[in-house]
A and B are shown apart, each in its own frame.
Chain A
Amino acid sequence: MADFEPTIIAFVCNWCTYTAADLAGTSRLTYPRNVRLIRVMCTGMVDPQYVVKAFLAGADAVLVSGCHPGDCHYINGNFKARRRIKLLKEILPRFGFDEGRLRLTWIGASEGVDFAHTMTQLVDEVRALGPNDVRSQMVL
Chain B
Amino acid sequence: MAKIAKIEVTDSNPLTSLKGFFKSLLETGELKGLMVPQHLPMKNVVMPTLVTDPEKLEGADPLAPVFPLNAAKLVGRLTRKPLHGSVAAVLRPCEIRAFIELVKLKQGSMEEVVLVGVDCPGAYSNVNYPRFAGENRDDATLKFLGSALDGGSTAFEDFDISTACMACEHPVPRNADLSIGLFGVDVNKELIITANTDKGEDILDKVGLSAAEEPGAREGAIAALVEKRTAYRDRMFEETSEATSDIEKLNNYLASCVNCYNCRVACPVCYCRECVFLTDAFDHEPVQYLSWAKGKGMLKMPTDTVFFHLTRLVHMSTACVGCGQCSNACPNNVPVVELFKTLASYTQKAFAYEAGRSPEEEPPLSVFHEAEFPEVTGGKH
Contacts and interface: CB of A to CB of B under 8 A. Distances in A.
A80 B300 CA distance: 35
Contacts of A90: 346-347, 350
B368 A91 contact: no
B364 interface: yes
A88 B315 CA distance: 10
Contacts of A134: 247
Given A86-B350, A87-B347, A96 B315 contact: no
Most buried by B among A69, A83, A134: A83
20 contacts: A49-B314, A69-B371, A70-B370, A91-B317, A91-B347, A94-B346, A95-B245, A95-B247, A95-B250, A96-B245, A96-B247, A97-B247, A105-B380, A133-B246, A134-B247, A139-B296, A139-B298, A139-B299, A140-B303, A140-B305
Contacts of B365: 80, 83-84, 87
A77 to B, nearest CB: 10
B305 to A, nearest CB: 7
Q: Which 7 A-B pairs have the closest CB atoms?
A: A96-B246, A79-B368, A48-B314, A137-B248, A90-B350, A140-B303, A52-B310
Interface string B288-304: 00001000101110011
B245 A56 contact: no
B311 A49 contact: yes
Contacts of A83: 351, 364-365, 368, 373
A56 B370 contact: no
A90 to B, nearest CB: 5
Given A56-B310, A86-B350, A86-B376, A94 B241 contact: yes
Contacts of A56: 306-307, 310
B247 to A, nearest CB: 5
Interface string A129-140: 000011001111
Interface residues of A, number: 34
Nearest to B289: A140
Interface of B: 241, 244-251, 276, 292, 296, 298-300, 303-307, 310-311, 313-315, 317-318, 343, 346-347, 350-351, 364-365, 368-373, 376-378, 380-381
B303 A91 contact: no
Interface string A104-139: 111000000000000000000000000001100111
B376 A133 contact: no
Main SS of the interface on chain B?
helix
A16 interface: no
Contacts of A96: 245-247, 249-250
A140 B245 contact: no
Nearest to A95: B250
B175 to A, nearest CB: 25
A53 B277 CA distance: 13
A9 interface: no
A139 B276 CA distance: 22
Interface in A50-104: 52-53, 56, 69-70, 76, 79-80, 82-91, 94-97, 103-104
